[in-house]
Amino acid sequence: MIALRNTLLRRAGTRGVSAPGRLHELDALRGFALCGIMVVNTWQHTCDRLEHPARNTVDWVVDSLFQAKFFPIFSFLFGMSLVLFLRSAGDRSEHPRLVLLRRLAVLACLGAAHRIVNPDEVLLPYAGFGAMVLLPASFLPDLVVLVAGIGATVWGVGHGGGGALVGGLFLLGMAAMEFPLSERLLAPAFLLSSVLAAGLVYLWIASSTGSALFFRGAYTASGLACSAAYGTGLLLLLRTRLRAALMRALTPLGRMALTNYLLSTVAILGTLPLLVADPTRLSVAVLSVAVLAAQVAFSRWWLARYRYGPMEWLWRCLTWLERVPNRRAPAPA
């Protein structure tokens, strides 16, 4: 997140200026979070259809290393994206917050429709929290937003997650856009969060027979620590020779996150009988990898021809109440 903030500052030039263009590392992080969410959603849908599932190695891996470890990244990025959108909308409209409210309303409608087939979907609650938390917070001083984000996140951890945690992460994402930190802290943050994550995961497993409140708190805290380790680890990898390959795969996935998230539901529900019939749950991993690989290929193909993904384009058109040009001009011969 530190490096992402510095990248924004270099591109935006000065604080408070709308960022010109897409922040590709933000897209890569979003695509990375989408990968983990795909695994978790596939696993949850499968286990929910089983009356008495016998836990196996796949269950343990997903529960320990994936479950509740990726939605914090997505929530944090949601708060960051709000600031970017407000800056962009401020260049086009005299009332950017009204445009933002319409954008959240469209997202809520998409989420309500999605909830018909996927009751556990996140678009509707994200839109609601965005309107109730992020929109009012956009009127507050940056320091107040930061303090409120820290307080809500700590409260959410202490009470086993819930709306306070999501709202706190939204606010921290907003605050991260306004308080630059040195990129030199990226490696220490990764090391610290990795050690903390390992300890908290162990504590969560060890406390499974103890106090329910302590168990939920350790579970939520381990999820936050793991998400911090995963996020900072990815940012470190983006500063190595793996950057080009990672960006080619994750950036298109993240740019079409809404489209790919909805398509994932179709893939999961369509293959659910096969997933439920597999007692090993290895099909969860197989399906997740196959769907994500297909989505990367599809996203790269689509974005070579269009500026926005199908659902992203629809969302943008409904937000601005106009038909937004989408097809890219053909490359010169």
Short-list 289, 230, 242, 332, CA closest to 42: 289
What are the structure tokens assigned to 186, written together? 């990226």
Distances (CA, A) of 271 to 44, 236, 264, 276, 288: 13, 36, 11, 9, 11
pTM for the complete prediction? 0.89
Helix (H, G, I), strand (E, B) or coil at 70: coil
Name the phi and psi angles at 327, rounded to 5.
Answer: -70, 135
Q: Place 333 in a pLDDT band, splitting at 50, 70 and 90.
A: low
Mean pLDDT over residues 87-106, rounded?
93
Helix (H, G, I), strand (E, B) or coil at 317: helix
Question: pLDDT > 70: what percent of the chain?
Answer: 90
Scanning the structure block, which residue is given the tokens 């995961």? Answer: 201
Scanning the structure block, which residue is given the tokens 């408070």? Answer: 16
The amino acid present at 21, given as its one-letter code, is G
Q: Place 213 in a pLDDT band, splitting at 50, 70 and 90.
A: low
Say yes or no to pLDDT of 2 above 70. no
What are the structure tokens assigned to 328, written together? 């890219």
Q: What are the residues whose beta carbons fall under 8 Å from the beta carbon of 298, sequence distance 6 or more?
A: none
Scanning the structure block, which residue is given the tokens 């960006």? Answer: 247
Over residues 112-149, the pLDDT tens digits come to 999 999 988 999 999 999 999 999 999 999 999 999 99
Say yes or no to pLDDT of 7 above 60. no
pLDDT for residue 58: 92
Mean pLDDT over residues 163-189, rounded?
89
Please give the Cα distance from 272 to 122 (Å, whole number): 20
For 273, the enclosing helix (H) or strand (E) is helix 272-276
pLDDT for residue 15: 43
Mean pLDDT over residues 243-262, rounded?
96
Say yes or no to pLDDT of 260 above 70. yes
Q: For residues 234 and 79, is the Cβ–Cβ distance under 8 A? A: no
| 16-20, 232-236, 268-272: least confident range | 16-20
Please give the Cα distance from 298 to 228 (Å, whole number): 29
DSSP 177: T
- In sign, the C-alpha dihedral spanning 28, 30, 31, 32 is positive
pLDDT for residue 23: 75
Q: Place 211 in a pLDDT band, splitting at 50, 70 and 90.
A: low
HSE, CB side, 13 Å, CA atoms: give it for residue 126: 24
